[in-house]
């Protein structure tokens, strides 16, 4: 274990203290912190001002304000002005979002925002209908009663916030993909660096090949984890302060935290594979072809997950959430929409952990058999067939 | 004492080592010479445990070598290896720790060796910023940092300027004098001849000669060099053994009967040169590798 620790420590110290790494962590933390402020900046309450003039202004104003109350984070302030010129002037100056003249003309800069238009249109319909019915001889009280309609009940079959949950699941898939991809590449590059500089020969005179592989994966894994966890912690803390976390659909904080576990499992799986594949080549130029199978598998599982993030309760999604390495993306997706009980997540994590261990065993074998062979790319079949 | 016994190694159909044995005794310096591809590097890699042999074994002080006992060895591979983007002092110390030193001891030893090799003020530089010769010094420091009980160095002198060669030779002689068995390979035969107590010559995977330089000279078959002024052409026919001309009237004679050769030469004319010819290591090497 001491050998593993020394190798890991060297990775952590040499890369972790490098300027590029530290800057990277700080930048992502700042970006994530900025993201938590976004909802407040973009999705804040919409406030409108509507000016009215001429006939039925008072009725319209009352109707508009009443309708606006039905919406959350939406409010309309109304005011009466002296004449049409004043109303147009307010809209032109940008002081008002809309002006209504004589309950016949709507003045805006370039059309009213959708929600505002709906409210104004509704008010216009209501006030006009009421007047016309009254003119036709109906009792205003009866008219009023007849016109009062209870709003439609909102019943989302996907449960509350289904859209938000799927959006966050999709976001998690993207984050997991990139956060696993990056340190995995570092593992591959590090293995080739040691092999191409032949330093591996000195290392292997005092270390076993598996110690070198495990130490490298562990060291770069710690750095990758910090790179993921620090921005996440900053984001959650900031979100707590700004109230963004409280607005998350319930249980999603847990999903975000458990995605850290999925990250660890997924990284171990892919990093072991990357180390093994990279040990078969001697030059950085051969990297793309060497780790081609890994990139393919990773992109495939990412694309599948990205598609099924929007259909997380289908059979395919449920099956794939148990199949390593697809499960590292699919299970968080299902968890995000509350489709996976804890035992299912545990079972899937266990399978993924077993796959990672298996990949380590296979990777260490490939690594041991090919790391000392230099020159052209070692063939995988050759490495696997060799019995010694 | 390091004993390499009956090593055999094949790469595919290519027999890289065929029954290679050698012994490096404490306090002795063993020079390992051979043409490119003869098997020096393969032998050393197997001795370091970096490669596995197909047959034969490597023993240290009478017992077979394990990974932990090899941790006491110092190794310099033929194709140098250092982390280009790591600072020198931590890098040397890292290898010290890999060989079992405590962090503090490794740091101290790294500093001492870098001082001794003239790199004391460059400990915070990155390896990639050093000249090749200085990188080689760092490489030597890496192989020495843990005060090894055995030194295995593959081509330690290649690419060094004369001053660096002297530094390297001094360090090796010093370690050897401290009782450490040292084995190194080199193509610089004059250097091997000057530094080494024992020399092994390997050719096409086989040890073709091994022993002290004196022994090798003796076994190479000493020849008599004789020059007779004013001898009539064809006089060499009277010699008791086969003779080859070296030009300018000089002949090399293969014969154990030195007095017979002298008598024949005196009979042929005025003898201006007569004596045993000491072959250089290069001569021995050429002959053994042929």
Distance from CA of B107 to the nearest CA of A (A): 14
The answer to whether the CB of B23 falls within 8 A of the CB of B200 is no
d(CA B187, CA A387): 36
Q: Which pLDDT score, from 0 to 100, does residue A154 have?
A: 64
- Count Cβ neighbours within 10 Å for each residue of A119-148 and write b for 16 or more, e otherwise: bbebbbebbeebbebeeeeeeeeebeeeee
The answer to whether the CB of A348 falls within 8 A of the CB of A190 is no
% of chain B exceeding 70 in pLDDT: 99
The answer to whether the CB of A169 falls within 8 A of the CB of A332 is yes
Q: Do A205 and B51 touch (CB under 8 A)?
A: no
Neighbouring residues of B19: CB distance < 8 A, sequence distance ≥ 6 = B6, B7, B8, B56, B206, B207
Q: Which pLDDT score, from 0 to 100, does residue A368 have?
A: 82
Q: Do A205 and B85 touch (CB under 8 A)?
A: no
Alpha carbon A21 to chain centroid, angstroms:
23
Q: Do B50 and A207 touch (CB under 8 A)?
A: no
Distance from CA of A205 to the nearest CA of B (A): 6
**Mean pLDDT, residues B257-274:** 89
d(CA A130, CA A123): 10
Q: Which residues of B touch A199 (CB under 8 A)?
A: 81-83
Q: Which residues of B touch A201 (CB under 8 A)?
A: 45, 48, 50, 75, 77, 79, 81
Q: For residue A170, which of A37, A312, A323 has the smallest C-alpha distance?
A: A312
pLDDT at residue A44 tops 60: no
Residue scoring higher pLDDT (B79 or A158): B79
Neighbouring residues of A172: CB distance < 8 A, sequence distance ≥ 6 = A255, A256, A259, A332, A333, A336
Q: Which residues of B touch A197 (CB under 8 A)?
A: 80-84
pLDDT at residue A192 tops 60: yes
For testing contact with chain A, the best of B8, B50, B85 (most A CBs within 10 A): B50
Q: Which pLDDT score, from 0 to 100, does residue B209 have?
A: 85
| Best mean pLDDT range from A284-293, A295-304, A333-342 | A295-304
Alpha carbon A57 to chain centroid, angstroms:
47
Residue-wise pLDDT for A254-264, tens only, equals 888 888 999 99
Q: Which pLDDT score, from 0 to 100, does residue A352 have?
A: 93
The answer to whether the CB of A342 falls within 8 A of the CB of A331 is no
For testing contact with chain A, the best of B42, B55, B98, B153 (most A CBs within 10 A): B98
pLDDT at residue A301 tops 50: yes
Q: Do B70 and A203 touch (CB under 8 A)?
A: no
For testing contact with chain A, the best of B54, B58, B77, B89 (most A CBs within 10 A): B77
A373: nearest CA in chain B?
Answer: B51
Query: For strand B223-229 and strand B270-277, is the pairing parallel, antiparallel, or unpaired?
Result: antiparallel
Q: Which pLDDT score, from 0 to 100, does residue A295 have?
A: 92
**pLDDT band for position A39 (cuts 50, 70, 90):** low
pLDDT at residue B110 tops 90: yes
Q: Which pLDDT score, from 0 to 100, does residue A388 have?
A: 44
**Mean pLDDT, residues A14-25:** 89
Nearest to A198 among B49, B51, B79 (CB): B79
**pLDDT band for position B44 (cuts 50, 70, 90):** very high
Residue scoring higher pLDDT (A184 or B132): A184
**Mean pLDDT, residues A269-287:** 89
**Mean pLDDT, residues A228-232:** 89
Neighbouring residues of A345: CB distance < 8 A, sequence distance ≥ 6 = A258, A331, A335
Distance from CA of A292 to the nearest CA of B (A): 26
Q: Do B50 and A205 touch (CB under 8 A)?
A: yes
**Mean pLDDT, residues A17-43:** 80
Q: Which residues of A touch B95 (CB under 8 A)?
A: 202, 206
Q: What is the DSSP string of B115-176?
A: HHTT-GGGTTSBGGGS-HHHHHHHHHHHHHTT--SEEEESSTTTT--HHHHHHHHHHHHHHH
Residue scoring higher pLDDT (A238 or B29): B29
Q: Do B45 and A203 touch (CB under 8 A)?
A: no
Q: Which pLDDT score, from 0 to 100, does residue A157 have?
A: 62
Strand partners, B252: B225, B244
pLDDT at residue A151 tops 80: no
Longest dimension (CA), chain B: 78
CA angle (A132, A133, A138) in 5-degree steps = 145
Q: Which pLDDT score, from 0 to 100, does residue B92 have?
A: 94
d(CA A281, CA A374): 7
pLDDT at residue A66 tops 90: no
**pLDDT band for position A117 (cuts 50, 70, 90):** confident
**pLDDT band for position A215 (cuts 50, 70, 90):** very high
Q: For residue A189, which of A81, A291, A257 has the smallest C-alpha distance?
A: A291
The answer to whether the CB of A255 falls within 8 A of the CB of A312 is no
Q: Which residues of A touch B136 (CB under 8 A)?
A: none
- Enter the CATH code of domain A45-147: 3.40.190.10
Residue-wise pLDDT for A343-388, tens only, equals 999 999 999 999 999 998 988 888 888 877 766 677 777 777 765 4
d(CA A110, CA A87): 15
**pLDDT band for position B13 (cuts 50, 70, 90):** confident
Q: Do B82 and A199 touch (CB under 8 A)?
A: yes
Domain B2-217 classified CATH 3.40.50.150? no
The answer to whether the CB of A267 falls within 8 A of the CB of A183 is yes
**Mean pLDDT, residues A221-247:** 85
The answer to whether the CB of B262 falls within 8 A of the CB of B274 is yes
Q: Do A202 and B75 touch (CB under 8 A)?
A: yes
Interface confidence (ipTM) of the complex:
0.77
Residue-wise pLDDT for B133-158, tens only, equals 888 889 989 999 999 999 999 999 88
Distance from CA of B202 to the nearest CA of A (A): 22
pLDDT at residue A75 tops 50: yes
d(CA A7, CA A45): 54
Phi, psi of A45 (to 5 degrees): -60, 140
Q: Does B159 touch chain A (CB under 8 A)?
A: no
Strand partners, B182: B29, B151
Q: Which pLDDT score, from 0 to 100, does residue A31 have?
A: 87
Q: Which pLDDT score, from 0 to 100, does residue A254 have?
A: 82
**pLDDT band for position A140 (cuts 50, 70, 90):** confident
Neighbouring residues of A263: CB distance < 8 A, sequence distance ≥ 6 = A176, A179, A180, A224, A225, A228, A328
Q: Does B86 touch chain A (CB under 8 A)?
A: yes
Residue scoring higher pLDDT (A242 or A316): A316
Cis? peptide before A385, omega within 30° of 0: no
% of chain A exceeding 90 in pLDDT: 24
Q: Do B77 and A206 touch (CB under 8 A)?
A: no
All structural domains of chain A with their residue ranges = 2-36+161-385, 45-147
d(CA B123, CA B119): 7
């Amino acid at each position: 274990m001491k050998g593993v620790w020394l190798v890991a420590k060297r990775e952590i110290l040499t890369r972790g203290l490098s300027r590029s790494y530290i800057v990277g962590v700080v930048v992502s933390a700042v970006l994530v912190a900025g993201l938590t402020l976004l909802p407040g900046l973009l999705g804040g309450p919409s406030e409108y001002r509507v000016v009215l003039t001429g006939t039925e202004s008072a009725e319209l104003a009352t109707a508009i304000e009443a309708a606006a109350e039905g919406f959350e984070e939406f409010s309309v302030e109304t005011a009466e002005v002296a004449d049409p010129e004043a109303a147009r002037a307010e809209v032109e100056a940008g002081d008002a979002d809309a002006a209504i003249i004589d309950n016949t003309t709507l003045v805006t800069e370039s059309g009213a925002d959708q929600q505002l238009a709906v409210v104004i249109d509704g008010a216009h319909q209501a006030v006009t209908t009421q007047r016309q019915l009254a003119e036709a001889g109906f009792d205003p009280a009866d008219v009023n009663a007849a016109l009062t309609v209870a709003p439609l009940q909102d019943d989302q079959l996907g449960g509350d916030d289904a859209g938000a949950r799927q959006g966050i699941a999709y976001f998690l898939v993207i984050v997991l993909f990139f956060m696993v991809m990056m340190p995995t590449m570092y593992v591959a590059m590090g293995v080739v660096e040691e092999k191409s500089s032949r330093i591996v020969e000195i290392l292997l005179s005092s270390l076993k090949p598996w110690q070198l592989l495990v130490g490298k994966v562990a060291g770069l894994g710690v750095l990758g984890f910090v790179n993921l966890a620090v921005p996440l912690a900053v984001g959650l803390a900031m979100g707590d302060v700004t109230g963004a976390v409280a607005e998350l659909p319930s249980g999603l904080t847990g999903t975000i935290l458990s995605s850290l576990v999925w990250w660890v499992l997924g990284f171990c799986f892919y990093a072991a594979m990357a180390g093994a594949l990279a040990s078969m080549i001697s030059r950085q130029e051969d990297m793309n072809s060497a780790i081609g199978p890994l990139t393919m598998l990773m992109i495939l599982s990412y694309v599948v997950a990205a598609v099924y993030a929007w259909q997380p309760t289908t059979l395919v999604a449920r099956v794939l959430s148990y199949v390593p390495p697809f499960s590292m993306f699919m299970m968080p997706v299902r968890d995000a929409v509350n489709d996976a009980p804890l035992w299912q997540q545990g079972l899937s994590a266990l399978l993924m952990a077993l796959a990672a261990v298996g990949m380590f065993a296979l990777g260490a074998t490939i690594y041991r058999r090919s790391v000392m062979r230099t020159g052209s790319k070692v063939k995988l079949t050759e490495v696997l067939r060799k019995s010694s | 004492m390091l004993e390499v016994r009956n090593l055999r190694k094949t790469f595919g159909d290519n027999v890289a080592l065929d029954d290679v044995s050698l012994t490096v005794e404490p306090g002795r310096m063993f020079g390992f010479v051979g043409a490119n591809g003869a098997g020096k590097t393969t032998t050393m890699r197997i001795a370091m445990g970096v490669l596995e042999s197909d047959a034969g074994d490597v023993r240290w002080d009478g017992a077979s070598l394990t990974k932990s006992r090899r941790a006491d060895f110092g190794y310099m591979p033929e194709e140098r290896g250092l982390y280009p983007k790591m600072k020198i002092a931590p890098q040397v110390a890292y290898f010290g720790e890999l060989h079992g030193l405590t962090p503090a001891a490794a740091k101290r030893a790294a500093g001492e060796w870098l001082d001794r090799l003239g790199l004391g003020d460059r400990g915070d530089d990155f390896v990639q910023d050093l000249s090749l010769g200085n990188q080689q010094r760092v490489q030597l420091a890496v192989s020495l940092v843990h005060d090894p009980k055995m030194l295995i160095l593959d081509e330690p002198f290649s690419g060094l300027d004369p001053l660096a060669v002297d530094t390297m030779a001094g360090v090796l002689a010093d370690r050897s004098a401290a009782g450490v068995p040292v084995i190194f390979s080199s193509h610089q035969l004059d250097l091997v001849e000057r530094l080494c107590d024992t020399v092994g010559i390997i050719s096409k995977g086989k040890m073709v000669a091994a022993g002290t330089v004196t022994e090798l000279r003796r076994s190479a078959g000493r020849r008599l060099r004789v020059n007779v002024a004013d001898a009539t052409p064809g006089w060499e026919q009277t010699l008791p053994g086969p003779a080859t001309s070296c030009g300018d009237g000089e002949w090399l004679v293969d014969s154990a009967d030195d007095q017979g050769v002298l008598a024949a030469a005196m009979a042929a004319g005025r003898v201006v040169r007569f004596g045993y010819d000491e072959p250089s290591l290069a001569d021995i090497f050429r002959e053994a590798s042929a």
